Structures are given as structure tokens and as C-alpha cells.
A = this chain, B = another copy of it.
Amino acid sequence: MTSTPTRKVGARDRLVSAAERLFYAEGIHAVGVDRLCAEAEVSKRSLYQHFSGKDAVVTAMLRAQAAKSVALFAPDGASPRDRILAVFDALDHEADSSDFRGCPFLGAAIELKDLDHPAVRIAREQKLALTEYFAEALRAGGVGDADLLALQLTLIFDGASAYSVVQGGSTPATRQAVETLLSAHGI
């Protein structure tokens, strides 16, 4: 058996989980494969049987984060306006937790510094997905130029994430900015 619907937690999954924790908390370059394997309770040899190298682990880890994040977006019942604000409320809440280190996709992209790196590609797609989530809600709310406003909201999202990394915690300015932008477009 190579892969069944209900999968046992194997070495691969434990590696990805450990990678999510460690790379996010301490940085990709700051965590070596030995540390990673030890924390995942996986032999070093197993890592290289599942992945072609550290980069592949990084990519898999970001992919796993992306899969979880898209699910997080949508509290589907609410109004378009609330569906948008919910994202920022969630971000503010996370930003006030002590172990928040900013958006993991943005963090990885900044640390890797290579637009062509597969992990950065995932980060890019993830940001586009967030923008599309905003755009969809805006269209449902009857906003013209939904794409442009959605991009502006993404800017604020990443700005708020950056704020929490540099200053620590969240700021009411985030929600204020979002509400001003939404009001200005009649929603």
C-alpha cells in the first residue's frame, strides 16, 4: 500500500508537522535537518526517503499550511461585509497570541527571497486565493471593481501581519482601515 484514504500518521506527516512548527517559530534557515528530524521523531534517513531535500520539506510544509488556511476563511452564513471582517478579526486575534510570528506565507517568501522557489510560488497562490475570497464576497455585496478593492484589503491584511511582527500584537487601525475602505465602496 502506498496511499489509502484513511492514512496512518507516518514519518512524512510527522516531518511536515514539525516543519510547520519549527520553520514558522524560528525560521527556515535557522532550523537544520537534524533538529527537524529529532523534533519529528523521525530518522534522518527517512526524511531523504520521503523528500528530495530540505527545500522539498519546506515546500510540503507551506502546502500543508495553505490547505488549512483556505478552510479557515469562510464562515459561510454571514453577510459579505461580515465575511470580510471575520478574516481581519481572526488575524487580530492571532496577532495577540504570544507565539504569532506573522503570516507564514509572507514569512517564507521574505526569507527565501526567490520568486521562483516552489514554496514562494505557493505563498503567491495563497495570497491570490485570499484576494479572490475577498473579491467574491465583494461581488456578492454588489461592489463594482471588486478585484481592485480585494487587492487593497489584501494589502491591509499583510500590513497588519507585518505590524504584529515588528510591534507585537494587533492594532485597531487595521479594522478602521478596512471599514473605511468598505464604506467608501458602499458596503
Q: Which residue numbers of A lie inside 8 Å of B, CB to CB?
A: 25-27, 29-30, 101-102, 105-107, 109-111, 113, 115, 120, 123-124, 127, 148, 151-152, 154-163, 165-168, 171-174, 176-177, 180-181, 183-184
Contacts and interface: CB of A to CB of B under 8 A. Distances in A.
Nearest to A174: B155
A185 B35 CA distance: 51
Contact of A158 (B109, B152, B158): B158
A109 B157 contact: no
B107 A110 contact: yes
B156 A155 contact: yes
Q: A25, A110, A176 — which one has the most chain B CB atoms within 10 A of its CB?
A: A110
Contacts of A168: 115
